[in-house]
Amino acid sequence: LRFELETSKLNNCLIFLPFGYAADIISTVEFNYSGELLATGDKGGRVVIFQREQESKNRLLSRGEYNVYSTFQSHEPEFDYLKSLEIEEKINKIRWLPQQNAAHFLLSANDKTIKLWKISERDKRAEGYNLKDEDGRLRDPFRITTLRVPVLMPMDLMVEASPRRIFANAHTYHINSISVNSDYETYLSADDLRINLWHLEITDRSFNIVDIKPANMEELTEVITAAECHPHQCNVFVYSSSKGTIRLCDMRAAALCDRHSKFFEEPEDPSSRSFFSEIISSISDVKFSHSGRYMMTRDYLSVKVWDLNMENRPVETYQVHEYLRSKLCSLYENDCIFDKFECCWNGSDSAIMTGSYNNFFRMFDRNTRRDITLEASRENSKPRAMLKPRKVCTGGKRKKDEISVDSLDFNKKILHTAWHPKENVIAVAATNNLYIFQDKVN
Amino acid sequence: MFSKGTKRKFSDGDEEISDESLVGARVASSYSLQRQSLLDMSLIKLQLCHMLVEPNLCRSVLIANTVRQIQEEMTHDGSWHMVTEAFCGPGQSPSERLVATEVLCRSREQDAEPKLFSVISYEGCREEEVVADETLCSVSVSDTVSNVCLAGRIGQCWEKSELSGVERDEEALEDSRLGSGEDEEIDTEDGASTESPKTTGQVFGTFEIKNSSPAPDSALEELFSDVDTSYYDLDTMLTGMQSAPKMGPYDILDSLAPSHSSPSIVSTPKCRSDLNELDHIMEIIVGS
């Protein structure tokens, strides 16, 4: 099923869900393995899970809508007394575990602690206890004259979230990534300088598999920015750095994977070198393709697709917002140059998506090499309306409907996007609003 | 777009200024201004970093690397030398002057003598070609000898003999021999007056923006030895690299105590501190 980037067919159905709960900035968005559930984490430490409605047979043309399924407080602000530092409750990453029974499991991480949450449904309740009343009060034993067997009665669906494991005290620096391994038994967590490997059942221990902390912290010039496990090979993982490099490591080689198996770096173009070269080369996200053959990296201005078999340069490079290259000094001044954009693949690896400023997000079709810019905003979209492609005017005459670079709102940034694993449904987080777009079915 | 021009020599008083070099001077000074403002901005960001409860390590590292880049480039083209010249009077010997320049320079090893770099060679302030963009974004800084820093033009002017001359320079400096360094300087300075494009190769070719380990800046410490302790933060921010007992910008996460309680400094007096340098530092902080 090819994803068509024809504007007439793209994203015909728009659902947007403004966060009704004390509108907090969304910090992570993630579909589960089936796409039925969509989890979001926010700056206040809350997790909100949306569930897709079953498609109604009566309304053939409508796709299932996503409605709130469960909300819970995952992390609370903490205080590190030793360092006199507050630990933010902001959820940095959520990763789902594959479903193995009726319950759903996900990992959520803030700067320091990872928690395994179990989300389960309860739609039955036992009634008719012998020793207690319906409201829970103990019955007077002398009043009990008969015995009865409690009966399960249906009740309103209740979705409960309970923390099953808490993986704490393993990270000195801020956690930027978590990734579930394909063995479904282990997962890795990465902070600025170290990567740890955990077993999902064991919370008091983790293995340190990468450590790039220099003996003398003044020598520090490079940090880890993202890490991910290979989707099929449970011994392989990659991590990216602030210098624009990616290292692929094989856990079979050694216990400490400080020596990489593969080193991916694109040689710098000397003609475009500037004081900002290093900053804009810093990789903010790395994602394996579903096939496991490619990986994608996001730096400040571009998205690059790498073939795992070729280390010296990417096989594809897509410019996200090249018109910002001449504005780097201003973007450095207002700190926007440090924004960490994420990127994602579609289910078939034929398209990739990433966010930009002004609530714009970009999609690239790898086969046709066509790209599109769309906007996630309430003013410009009505429910069920088709999204209009946007264009940024870089110079000269501004055409109608184009927006000039200087009019872009750099406070409206789309850092987090997610693509349904099987269908053309995307979730886009624009500050404190979540937008879900679906492709029209003909 | 800015036209390419040659940069005026800084410290010499007897240079002749042609029309072309005037235009070039304007370009170069504009570039220097932009570079300086970028440096100021970066230093302020680093300082603000330390004021935050828990700084973002990635951001701090990137800003510090940018500061290092700028400092290296300023050292290369002698601008930093000019700045530090104000700190130490003209009556000082060359070695003292160079050590003062060492203040924000970086040595390769922590316990090595201060490398005299090619500051010696650049006392005369080589002419160089600079192409500046409004926002400094397309300014090119050459990394290695083989890199062409500007749009092809300089590359054409490079010759192998120049490169080998550059290598000789480097060796002389590595040996920290002032005498030979000065000899080299005289030789190449003669060459510079006649073949200005080639010297650019020297300017950019000698240096690499590497990530070598920073050194304890004993000269730096001496400069601040009679300064109020609140300047230790300034210290950290300026260099980002200090002797082992002192805390660097990233140690905040590791340390138990806030940065104000810096441990004792190892200092060997090598350069006088001056009110001027204090003013200059304050200027950077305040960003006036």
Q: What confidence tens digit (pLDDT) does each residue in B84-105 have?
A: 555 444 444 433 333 323 333 3
Burial status of residue B15 (CB atoms within 10 A of its CB: 0-12, 13-18, 19 or more): middle
Length of chain A equals 442
pLDDT value at residue A257:
87
Degrees to nearest 5, angle at CA A202 with A198 and A203 = 85
pLDDT value at residue A67:
87
Which of A267-281, B96-110, B135-149 is least confident?
B96-110
The span from the CA of A426 to the CA of B28, in Å, is: 49
CA-CA distances (angstroms) from residue A316 to A310, A364, A367, A416?
Answer: 12, 11, 11, 22
User: Is B256's pLDDT higher than 60?
Assistant: no
Whether residues A220 and B213 touch (CB distance < 8 A) is answered with no
User: Is A437's pLDDT higher than 50?
Assistant: yes
Helices (H), B52-145: 57-76, 79-85, 94-101
User: Is A2's pLDDT higher than 60?
Assistant: no
Chain A stretch 316-355, residues whose beta carbon is closer than 8 A to a beta carbon of chain B: 325-330, 332-333, 335, 338
Whether residues A218 and B148 touch (CB distance < 8 A) is answered with no
pLDDT value at residue B111:
34
Token output for A421? 């694993």
Whether residues B250 and A217 touch (CB distance < 8 A) is answered with yes
pLDDT band for position B187 (50/70/90)?
A: very low
pLDDT band for position A382 (50/70/90)?
A: low
The span from the CA of A32 to the CA of A40, in Å, is: 11
The span from the CA of B281 to the CA of B273, in Å, is: 12
Q: Which residue has the higher pLDDT, A106 or A20?
A: A106
**Contact B65/A at CB under 8 A:** yes
Q: Are B105 and B71 in contact (CB under 8 A)?
A: yes
**Contact B156/A at CB under 8 A:** no
pLDDT value at residue B139:
36
User: Is B265's pLDDT higher than 70?
Assistant: no
pLDDT value at residue A165:
97
The strand pair at A262-264 and A93-96 is best described as unpaired
Non-local CB neighbours of B182 within 8 Å, separated by 6+ positions: B94, B120
Q: Are B240 and B47 in contact (CB under 8 A)?
A: no
Looking at residue A278, the DSSP 8-state letter turns out to be H
pLDDT value at residue B122:
27
Return the SS3 of A356. Answer: coil
Whether residues A328 and B140 touch (CB distance < 8 A) is answered with no
CA-CA distances (angstroms) from residue B141 to A223, A299, A355, B134, B203?
Answer: 23, 21, 30, 16, 10
Backbone region of residue B115 per phi and psi (left: phi > 0; alpha: psi in -120 to 50; beta: other values): beta
Whether residues B140 and A274 touch (CB distance < 8 A) is answered with yes
Token output for A105? 């499991």
Give the residue from A192, A303, A111, A208 showing the smallest Cα distance to B61: A192
Q: Give the residue carrying structure tokens 């055409």.
A: A399
Q: Pick from B57, B62, B135: which is nearest to A329 by CB?
A: B135
Q: Which residue has the higher pLDDT, A296 or A3?
A: A296
User: Is B177's pLDDT higher than 70?
Assistant: no
Q: Are A431 and A29 in contact (CB under 8 A)?
A: no
Q: What is the mean pLDDT of chain A?
A: 89
**Percentage of the residues of chain A whose pLDDT score is greater than 70:** 90
φ/ψ (deg, to 5) at B123: -60, -35
Chain B stretch 207-226, residues whose beta carbon is closer than 8 A to a beta carbon of chain A: 211, 213-214
The span from the CA of A233 to the CA of A250, in Å, is: 9
User: Is A137's pLDDT higher than 90?
Assistant: no
A177 Cα distance to chain centroid: 9
pLDDT band for position A192 (50/70/90)?
A: very high
Q: Are A284 and A272 in contact (CB under 8 A)?
A: no
User: Is B154's pLDDT higher than 60?
Assistant: no
Burial status of residue A259 (CB atoms within 10 A of its CB: 0-12, 13-18, 19 or more): exposed
**Percentage of the residues of chain A whose pLDDT score is greater than 90:** 69
Give the residue from A356, A376, A354 showing the smallest Cα distance to A364: A354
Backbone region of residue B84 per phi and psi (left: phi > 0; alpha: psi in -120 to 50; beta: other values): alpha
ipTM: 0.89
Q: Pick from B34, B41, B53: which is nearest to A85 by CB?
A: B53
Chain B stretch 158-197, residues whose beta carbon is closer than 8 A to a beta carbon of chain A: none
**Contact A172/B at CB under 8 A:** yes
pLDDT value at residue A92:
97
Whether residues A173 and B41 touch (CB distance < 8 A) is answered with no
Q: Are A167 and B49 in contact (CB under 8 A)?
A: no
Taking the CA of residue A173 and the nearest CA in chain B, the distance in Å comes to 8
Mean pLDDT of A273-300: 97
The span from the CA of B141 to the CA of B75, in Å, is: 13
Give the residue from A102, A47, A34 showing the smallest Cα distance to A74: A47
The span from the CA of B169 to the CA of B126, in Å, is: 14
Q: Pick from A218, A242, A272: which is nearest to B242 by CB?
A: A218
The pTM of this model reads 0.68
Q: Which of A195-204, B50-59, B165-174, B216-225 has the highest mean pLDDT?
A: A195-204
Which of A61-65, A203-207, B172-176 is least confident?
B172-176
Q: Which pLDDT tens digit goes with each residue over B21-74? A: 777 777 778 888 889 999 999 999 888 766 656 778 999 999 999 999 999 998
Burial status of residue A424 (CB atoms within 10 A of its CB: 0-12, 13-18, 19 or more): buried
Whether residues B38 and A274 touch (CB distance < 8 A) is answered with no
The span from the CA of A328 to the CA of A340, in Å, is: 15
CA-CA distances (angstroms) from residue A118 to A74, A104, A113, A245?
Answer: 11, 6, 16, 36
Q: What is the mean pLDDT of chain B?
A: 51
Which of A201-205, A233-237, A430-434, B186-190 is least confident?
B186-190
Q: Which of A81-85, A143-147, A261-265, B172-176 has the highest mean pLDDT?
A: A261-265
Rg (CA), chain A: 24
Q: Which of A261-275, A379-393, B247-261 has the highest mean pLDDT?
A: A261-275
pLDDT value at residue A75:
96
Q: Which residue has the higher pLDDT, B53 or A107?
A: A107
pLDDT value at residue B19:
65
**Contact A201/B at CB under 8 A:** no
Return the SS3 of A434. Answer: strand
User: Is A405's pLDDT higher than 60?
Assistant: yes
Whether residues B61 and A279 touch (CB distance < 8 A) is answered with no
Taking the CA of residue B145 and the nearest CA in chain A, the distance in Å comes to 12
Chain B stretch 31-50, residues whose beta carbon is closer than 8 A to a beta carbon of chain A: 34-35, 38, 41, 45
Q: Which pLDDT tens digit goes with each residue over A241-258? A: 999 999 999 999 988 888
Mean pLDDT of A62-76: 86
pLDDT value at residue B24:
74
pLDDT value at residue B68:
93
The span from the CA of A3 to the CA of A423, in Å, is: 9
Q: Are B88 and B276 in contact (CB under 8 A)?
A: no
The span from the CA of A92 to the CA of A98, in Å, is: 20
pLDDT value at residue B285:
74
Whether residues A338 and B250 touch (CB distance < 8 A) is answered with no
pLDDT band for position A383 (50/70/90)?
A: low
The span from the CA of B219 to the CA of A212, in Å, is: 30
A385 Cα distance to chain centroid: 26
φ/ψ (deg, to 5) at A147: -110, 145
**Contact B253/A at CB under 8 A:** yes
Whether residues A192 and B41 touch (CB distance < 8 A) is answered with no
Give the residue from B103, B203, B213 showing the smallest Cα distance to B163: B203
pLDDT band for position B287 (50/70/90)?
A: low
User: Is B178's pLDDT higher than 70?
Assistant: no
Mean pLDDT of A200-218: 95
User: Is A317's pLDDT higher than 90?
Assistant: yes
pLDDT band for position A186 (50/70/90)?
A: very high
User: Is A240's pLDDT higher than 80?
Assistant: yes
Q: Are A275 and A336 in contact (CB under 8 A)?
A: no
Nearest CA in chain B to A86: B53
Q: Are B233 and B202 in contact (CB under 8 A)?
A: no
Q: Best mutation site among B53, B65, B76, B243 for testing chain A: the one with the most A CBs within 10 Å?
A: B65
Give the residue from A354, A195, A238, A222 showing the smallest Cα distance to A281: A222
